[in-house]
A and B are shown apart, each in its own frame.
Chain A
Amino acid sequence: MFWRMLVGALVRQRRRMLMVALTIALGTSLSTAMLNVMLDVGDKVNRELKAYGANITVIPKSASVLKDLYGIEAGPGAAGQYLAEADLGKIKTIFWAHNIVTFAPFLENKTVLGQGGREVTLVGTWFDHSLELPTGEVAETGVRPLKTWWQVEGGWVKDDDPRGAMVGSLLASSAGLRTGDDFEITPPGGAGKERLTIRGIVSSGGSEDEQIFVPLATAQKLAGLPGKVGRIEVSAITTPENDLARRAAQNPKSLSLKDWETWYCTAYVSAIAYQIEEAVAGSRAKPIRQVAESEGVILQKTQLLMLLITVLSLIGSALGISNLLIAGVMERSREIGLLKALGATDGAILWQNLAEAVAAGIAGGGAGYFSGLGFAQVIGRSVFGSAVAVNAMVIPLVAVLVILVILAGSLPAVRMLLSLRPAEVLHGR
């Protein structure tokens, strides 16, 4: 009979049940969308923050101080002064390889512009280089994906164009150079003059505005350093630092084995830097704090913000659902009074109501879950241009939420049930 009444209520009161199901669907859909977006927002925003460029620089172990401080140019062949170009691909083979968004090598040389002109920095790099990895995958590397804020007038240099060059905007205006112009450079030794053609003018608002950029191979030839690079800038997706990461950054060896494993297997910037050092021979990888630290701050704030908004929306949907359930019980007070008059116990009526709500909840919750996924994708697509990862953890979370809400929504109904007197209800008082 219980089932008969349940089916009767569901089928013959279709409109009301539809409304309950609709409300539960709305609430579920909202919770699903918000939870999915919230769980994925860190990753998404992290990717956006890659606009700030590299957060790790890799330099040769021994060259750093000498060159930067004393301006001493190490002679060709000096061991440990340069990194090997052949090692670059290894960066994409470390434990956190998938978190490496992109990277670019740099080889800097002082050179003289034109005939007895002034000294400028010539930078060899990859512009837009598809690097084949040992695994057979292809990684997009180079300054174009790395330095998204560069404004280029004209075009980008092709990596296989030995005479192509890009000139910083300040240098171009002071030397009177334009896109398409040819110019001559002389390496400090005086030998091996080279004519280059300007393919584009770079404007970045930094020191790049006074430099010349050429393909890496050209710079290596001019410097007499085949297969060498001076510096690698790496852009990686990282986890905001915590205490453990800070201790590890001081000295990874000071950690206990367990802590060390945790640290190594978390995408802290220091852990990724450490792994790059392991992969690239004779290298030293340093987190660029300006980028790494700020990323952490913004990520944490964004995640906390989304968390609070999600909590608000969860409370909102919970109130919405339980409210409607209460309204539903009120509407049916006469029916409930009749059942009581017929001898139904409070428990039986309660079960009846709960079962109806649960049936509506399953239908509404199922529909709501999928429409919530849809909403999450709408957000992901239109804001970040990529799909939001569907997190399986959301399903039990939402299920528990809906069940709790249905129970909570039935609480006032219980109170009403207990206080209801059949005679009064039936006589319309």
Chain B
Amino acid sequence: MTKYAMFGKLVIHALLRRRSRILVALLAVATGATILSGLITIYYDVPRQMGREFRSYGANLLFIPAGSNQMLLADDLARAGGLLPRDKVIGIAPYLYERVKVNEQPLMAAGTIFKEVRNVSPYWHIRGQWPEKADGIVVGAEVAELLKLELGQKITLAVAHASTEKTLTVEGIVRTGGQEENFVFTDLALLQQLLNKEGQLSIAQASIMATEDELTALSRNVAQNVAGVSPRLVKRVTQSEGQVLGKLQALVYLVTIIILLLTLICAATTMMAVVTERRKEIGLKKALGAENSGIIREFLGEGLVLGGLGGAIGTVLGFFFAQAVSLNVFGRAISFQPFIALVAFVVSIGVSGLACLIPVKIAIDVEPAIVLRGE
């Protein structure tokens, strides 16, 4: 038998034949590793997930007609939309504004695509429902109050310089606390057709999951490549988002650091308690002629094996914990990050190795005679 094999045997048997104690140490390491990997994963994932939540503030990028143009062309908008990263775009809502007469009263109308509005402006509070068909409209709360409109009521919509009138149904009444309450919202294609302005828009709102810097880069790209479109950042939304998100991230960061610090110390003290118990064994090995370095190597070996095992268990559990948090808080799953798993694993090994070393270092300078003297 080689020396290495004996070393392995010492380490393995110290672990296997002291089951209950090792279980305790393993539990300590695994708890630490779970918290480590879970929190790092959450920390890594929070900005992304929270960024998604911040999109409830609505559009952060506007597309307006470039230069002296009065209108935005739908084709230009489509080309601009094509330049945006598909997976980060929450929605792009086009609007065409025009003065119209509703039940003979002059009002501002906005033609839009309701499906996109829902995505871009989730804060709209709709009484009734979003129209499914082209003959449904949504009216602002102020308009509804002024014209005494109720859900399901039919209205007539007429535009200037056109003889045709349309009869439409009020399907929703919107409350936002802002300008939207003074508008009548119709289907975009319908209004374009009435006004003979096919393919024309006044403005488009886009909601994109991106930081202010990314948005600036995106809008520069759009401005360069699509001549008819001038993109503008909604500073109130982008800047505030950066600021608040930064704080939230700092919060999770600090919390993570403090929890990790305390948990790792906790795991280390347990490891230390388990090793301290073996002072006598250290004394005996010394009496048998073991070098200090040899004993340290053995305990270190045990610590590393424990750390590896606990780290592996904890890394997996931590991922599931982060997954549970993400599902509960954000309703979305997270992807497995091999790098984080690796970091958690390596740190667990390092900490438990260290936790083994400290008490051994203390115990090792004791003369074997003192330890071995009878009880």
Contact = CB atoms under 8 A, between A and B. Distances in A.
| Chain A in direct contact with chain B (Cβ < 8 angstroms) | yes
Interface of A: 16, 19, 22-23, 26-27, 29-30, 33-34, 37, 41, 45, 48-49, 51-53, 56-57, 64-65, 68-70, 147-151, 203-206, 286-294, 297-298, 301-302, 304-306, 308-309, 312-313, 315-317, 319-321, 323-324, 326-328, 330-331, 334, 375, 378-379, 382-384
Contacts, number: 226
Interface stretch (B76-84, B229-237, B287-295, B335-343): B229-237
Contact of A383 (B58, B122, B236, B251): B251
Interface string B164-203: 0000000000011111001000000000000000000000
Contacts of A292: 123, 177
Contacts of B330: 301
B236 A317 contact: no
B42 A309 contact: yes
Contact of A147 (B38, B236, B270): B236
Given A34-B259, A294-B56, A289 B124 contact: yes
Interface in B319-335: 321, 324-325, 328-330
A319 B27 contact: yes
B58 to A, nearest CB: 6
A384 B247 contact: yes
B315 to A, nearest CB: 15
B12 interface: no
B235 A151 contact: yes
B57 interface: yes
Interface in B139-164: 142-143, 145-146
Contact of B267 (A29, A30, A320, A383): A320
17 contacts: A26-B266, A30-B262, A45-B247, A69-B142, A69-B182, A148-B239, A149-B239, A205-B235, A298-B56, A306-B251, A308-B328, A313-B35, A317-B262, A317-B263, A319-B27, A319-B28, A330-B20
7 A-B pairs with the lowest CB-CB distances in the bound complex, closest first: A205-B235, A320-B266, A51-B240, A327-B273, A288-B177, A293-B123, A149-B239
B112 interface: no
Looking at chain B's contact residues, is the secondary structure mostly helix, strand, loop, or mixed? Answer: helix
B53 interface: yes
B106 to A, nearest CB: 7
B54 A294 contact: yes
Given A30-B258, A57-B177, A69-B146, A204 B235 contact: yes
B38 A289 contact: no
A298 B53 contact: yes
B163 to A, nearest CB: 24
A148 B240 contact: yes
B310 to A, nearest CB: 12
B38 A312 contact: yes
Contacts of A203: 235
B263 A327 contact: no
Contacts of A69: 106-108, 142-143, 146, 182
Contacts of A151: 235
A14 B53 CA distance: 52
Contact of A323 (B27, B125, B244, B321): B27
Contact of A205 (B58, B233, B276, B321): B233
B329 A290 contact: no
B296 interface: no
Given A19-B272, A48-B243, A206 B177 contact: no
B254 interface: yes
Contact of A68 (B53, B182, B270): B182
Contacts of A334: 375
B16 interface: no
B325 A327 contact: no
Given A147-B236, A312-B38, A290 B269 contact: no
Contact of B262 (A29, A51, A293, A304): A29
A289 B178 contact: yes
Contacts of A375: 258
Given A30-B258, A316-B35, A289 B235 contact: no
B182 A294 contact: no
B24 A326 contact: yes
Given A26-B265, A57-B177, A34 B255 contact: yes
Interface in B113-136: 121-125
Nearest to B60: A205
A232 B21 CA distance: 68
Interface residues of B, number: 77
Nearest to A269: B177
B274 interface: yes
A55 B66 CA distance: 32
Contacts of A33: 258
Given A23-B270, A320-B267, A289 B259 contact: no
A74 B35 CA distance: 64
Contacts of A287: 177
B325 A308 contact: yes
Contacts of B14: none
Nearest to A209: B232
Contacts of B251: 37, 41, 306, 379, 383-384
A327 B176 contact: no
Contacts of A57: 177-178
Contact of A297 (B31, B53, B240, B255): B53
B97 to A, nearest CB: 13
Given A290-B58, A309-B259, A382-B250, A330 B266 contact: no
Most chain B CB within a 10 A radius of its CB, from A26, A33, A309: A309
B234 to A, nearest CB: 5
Given A313-B35, A315-B31, 13 more contacts: A48-B247, A53-B236, A69-B143, A205-B235, A288-B176, A290-B176, A294-B56, A301-B50, A301-B53, A308-B328, A309-B325, A319-B31, A334-B375
B254 A383 contact: yes
A64 B269 contact: no
Most chain B CB within a 10 A radius of its CB, from A30, A34, A68, A319: A319
B213 interface: no
B204 interface: no
Nearest to A37: B255
B360 to A, nearest CB: 15
A307 B330 CA distance: 13
B248 interface: yes
Nearest to B28: A323
Contacts of A286: 177
B238 interface: yes
A297 B244 CA distance: 14
A382 B108 CA distance: 48
Interface in B42-66: 42, 46, 50, 53-54, 56-58
Contact of B269 (A22, A52, A204): A22
Contacts of B272: 19
Most chain A CB within a 10 A radius of its CB, from B46, B106, B267: B267
Given A149-B239, A323-B270, A26 B178 contact: no
Given A293-B123, A309-B259, A316-B259, A205 B254 contact: no
Contacts of A379: 251, 254-255, 258
A298 B56 CA distance: 9
